[in-house]
Each structure stands twice: as structure tokens, then as C-alpha cells.
Structure 1
Amino acid sequence: MHAYAAESRVPVLGVLASIAVVIAIVTNRVLEECQFEYGWLVSAPTVGGAFAILLAVFDKWVWRWRWLHAIKAISTPVIEGKYEGTLRSTWDGAPEAKVRVLVEQRWLRILVRFEVLESETSKSKSVTAAVYGLGHQDASLTYTYSNRIRPGFADDDMSDHDGMADVTIDQLGRLEGRYFNARGRQGTLALQRR
């Protein structure tokens, strides 16, 4: 997985840091009440440790909570899932291909995998990405990818290449958009969340 662009995360990080400071203060007070002499030694690492734990939990689970999206505390759309459908290339004579897009997503990281289902000649994975809400519960996903062929399975004219996809995911789970690549090929994608 890799980092991706989304709405500003600074306000949420500030809240998590504030909570971490409160946890450190409470921990220090408890240690003082227990007459632990070296509480000062624990307080600084407690802030860092509490922040790391809070961020890990938020990154994996909390940011998905619908009520946080409803009150606009989080605006990064949750688009994780498996999508299947078709790819239509503008390349002369290219048949419509059945494809699968797998999106693994956390609050801070994402990975988009792309597979042509019938031929298995190559696989792609994202290198960079941006995810934004478009209103009406639609999301925009723009990503660059690196495609690696399977030697011996791919057509002779096919080679490793890079490309870009720009898609919209609607509230019904339809993923639609377009792609182009460094081989001079382009086309459209129409998939449905499974």
C-alpha cells in the first residue's frame, strides 16, 4: 500500500495529538497517586505511544464510521472493495475484456490492483492515487499504475508499461471512467462493486 492524496488530515491529526496529551497527563497523575518517583520518565514516551496507537486504530477502523462522515469530521470516501466489469479499448480490433479492480484502503494508505480476468497476461497496481468526494455520495479516484506482463503469456507486442486511470464511484457501487497508458492505448472502464 502507498500514501494517497485526500482532504486535509491536519484537523483529525490535531485531535488525535490532543487526546494523546490528555492520556499522558492522566497517566502521569495516576503514577503520582501511586507515588511512582519516575513519572517524568514515562510522560514523554506516553504521548508518543498514545498517539501512535490512536493513529493506528483510527487509520484502520475508526475513519470508516458512518457517523464521522455524517457530521463531516471525515470526508474521505470509503471506496474499498472488489469491482468487476468490462474494459473497452480504443485500440483497433481489441475485444471487450472482463476485468477486476481490487481497492484496499485505509485512511492514510491505498492500493489499487487491476486484473484482466480471462487472459492473465499482466497485472497492474497503483503507484500514486487521489480520492475525493464529489457530493451526492459519489467519489473520484485518480491513480497512476505500473503494469507488469507475464512473459510467455502476454502478446508479443505487449511490454511492461505505466498508465493512469480516472474513475468515478457512485453510491450504488458503479465504477466508471477512463484510462490511458504509455503504450498509446486508452479506453473506458465500467465495473460494479461485488
Structure 2
Amino acid sequence: MLNHEYALLGGVNRAFIGRYIGLAASIISGVIVFLVLSLIDLASTFGVAVNLPPTALSLVGAGVVFSILYMVFDKFVWRWSIAVKWLKVADLSGEWVCLGQTLKESGEVRYEWSAEVTICQTWDKIRVRLKTAQSGSNSIAAALMYDEAEGYRLLYNYRNDPRADQPELRSHVGCANILFDKSLMVGSGEYFNGHGRPTFGRMEFSRKGVAAAQG
């Protein structure tokens, strides 16, 4: 299962980030080309012949510089604390422990379950992988919303597939709505299943380090 794009709500528009990186790439590329040509001129004044093919300059063109800058931003820069505050995008990547409750129509607990959750996330892609003893699910679409009062809300749709030794379970799709506090250490919310397993309930997320300390 591949990571997929996710929508950002309440944060800095991704289009603006692309423009800023594009502007920085143009400036950096121009400076590099200027320095290279200046060095060639300097070498010529000392009688040193320098034969620089045009393809060499293309390696420092704005397109190449943009690709490098965007890759660095996508993998690392957006996670920096100062960047997170400006972008208003939560870094949820890592390992989580999930404690769930499946509820009856009356609101009473039908049964409890636990799962391990892995969230893979970059600036423009995410995947939520939840694994229980009986089945596993992967997100197929998601949105991350910044809430100034409460924290960050993750909404995602997923597909769940049971293990081969669980014939009584059926593949199904569902959605989850999880609110993470501003510390990004714990979260809580609800899930709703359909098309194969019409159930619903509550989920509590905590980062593995936090869960171990509480345990």
C-alpha cells in the first residue's frame, strides 16, 4: 500500500509553499551561475583555459535546484518546530498505541480491542496503518485540520482486511475522526464502519513512548 496525498485545512496553502520554493530556487540558481561564470572569467585573466559545457550549467538550473529544495522541505524542513508553528501542520509520523471500544446502539461497550498504529507522513503524503490481532487497515484518503482552540484533527477513510485465519470477518471500509492535542502525544476520536462490518466506536491514540510511561 502506497502513501497518498492528504488535504490541509486551516494551515498554510501548499501552493504558497511551492511559490516560495520556486522563488528561492530561481535566486539560488542565479547566484550559482553568476559565481561559476565569474570564476571562469577570473581564470581567463590568469591565462587558464576553462571549457565548461552548457550541460554543466544546466545542472544548477532553477528546475534542478527546485527539485532538491522541495525534496529537502518535503522530508525534513516542514517538521522543524519553527516551521510547524508557521505552517500549522502536525507531524503525526511515528508509532502509536490505539485502545478501542466498539459500541452498541445504546452506547454501551460491546467489546474492547487494541491495535498498533504506524503513521507515515511527509509534507504532501500520509498513510495510517492500523494493525490488530485479527486484521489490518490502511488509509486511502485523509485530511489534516488545524484547530486553534483544541489542536489538530485527522480525518481519514480506510480499508480493512482481515487475516486469512479470520473467516468470520469481512473486508470493509470505514472512516475515522481523531483529535490530537497540541502536544501531539495523545489523541481521541470515533470510527464508523460500513459495507461489510456496520460497527462504530471510540479510539484513544498515544505515542508509544507515552503509552509505555503510562503503563
Matched-pair contact (CA < 8 Å) for 2:103–2:111 = no
Change (3 A) 1:27 1:114: same
Counterpart position of 1:68: 83
Percent of residue pairs identical: 26
1:100 & 1:135 partners in 2: Cα distance?
Answer: 28
Indicate the SS of the match to 2:82. Answer: helix
Matched ranges for 1:108-187 at <5 A: 108-116=124-132, 120-136=133-149, 138-152=151-165, 154-156=166-168, 158-172=169-183, 173-182=185-194, 183-187=197-201
2:61 & 2:187 partners in 1: Cα distance?
Answer: 43
Q: So what's the TM-score if we normalise by structure 1?
A: 0.86
Indicate the SS of the match to 2:131. Answer: strand
- How far 1:83 sits from its partner (Å)? 1.9
1:109 & 1:90 partners in 2: Cα distance?
Answer: 32
Change (3 A) 1:69 1:150: closer
CA RMSD, Structure 1 to Structure 2 (Å)? 2.2
Counterpart position of 2:207: 193
Of 3, 16, 20, which residue of structure 2 is paired with 1:15? 20
Q: So what's the TM-score if we normalise by structure 2?
A: 0.78
Counterpart position of 1:24: 29
- How far 1:51 sits from its partner (Å)? 0.5
Pick which of 28-37 and 130-139 moved more: 28-37
Structure 1 unmatched ranges of 5 or more: none
How many residue pairs are counted as aligned between the two chains?
187
Instruction: Supply the AA of the counterpart residue of 1:22.
Output: I
Counterpart position of 2:44: none
2:134 & 2:98 partners in 1: Cα distance?
Answer: 17
- How far 1:69 sits from its partner (Å)? 3.1
1:37 & 1:84 partners in 2: Cα distance?
Answer: 56
Indicate the SS of the match to 1:78. Answer: coil
Indicate the SS of the match to 1:96. Answer: strand
Structure 2 unmatched ranges of 5 or more: 42-50, 209-215
Change (3 A) 1:84 1:41: closer
1:91 & 1:123 partners in 2: Cα distance?
Answer: 22
